[in-house]
Amino acid sequence: TVSAFRNNISQIQNRNKNTIAMSEANGNNDRCGIDYPKLVVFDLDACFWDQEMYEMPALPSKTVAGPLGTNGLGEGVTGAYSGRNKISMHAGSMVALQEHAAGDEYPGMKVCFASSADTPFAEKIGRATLKLLEVLPGVTVWDLVLKDWDGEDVNQIGRQPPLSSNKAQTHFPRIRKLTGIPYNKMLFFDDCNWGDHVGMVGRGCTEDNGEGVVGHRTPRGLRVVDWYKGLELYKKERS
């Protein structure tokens, strides 16, 4: 019945969310900020997922389900349609968030987004999509990210004031202020196809000791190899 189906979905959601909470509670984060970042910041368009929000014609109106990655973690929402355009996470994004959700690989690490979406409508489409795409069955990207911050939205999405098109001048200073995490404990992924945001953030967002945000460019989207390359770069810089 419909009622039984809904109850089953609710049980799956609660089980996965409880798994995330237990993993975080049991993690040893002594090496957080040294071997791996305290905060991973993802650009959205053409980096975290495969579309540009300014090109999307409408708020996502339907979804498609499928396997959530290749690790046998179940099925869930893998695509959201804006008109005829399907928006999906890149493979590296899925791996990154699933490893983050597990809590044992990088205990203490948190994630958020920094996107210079072109228009207010593009921002709305992006935020709506984050609330649809799933990392685990019943757990959306938005669920996972907000859990890191006890429900507070620290994400910086758009370019309307107080934001701008320059992430080094607006997005990252606001993230630094809201999270309290130093720039030199952050790892940033950006496609950089429309400007070298990684370079600008790395040069413009530094601590008193001269260390800044470690970045990795993903011109082909965040592939699995890019996820691990970024972590490798961070460890090399900070260990």
For the stretch 180-223, pLDDT in tens is 999 999 999 999 998 899 999 999 999 999 999 999 999 999 99
- 2-238 topology per CATH: Rossmann fold (3.40.50)
The values of phi and psi at residue 160, to 5°, are: -80, 145
Task: Note whether 136 and 72 are within 8 A (CB).
Answer: no
Report the b/e string of 41-73 with b at 16+ CB within 10 A. bbbbbbbbbbbbbeebeeebeebeeeebbeeeb
The Cα–Cα gap between 137 and 117 comes to: 28
What number of H helices and E strands is found in the chain? 7, 10
Confidence at 29, pLDDT banded by 50, 70, 90: confident
The C-alpha atoms of residue 66 and residue 79 are separated, in whole angstroms, by: 8
Average confidence (pLDDT) over 123-139? 98
| Cα(79)–Cα(76) distance, integer angstroms | 9
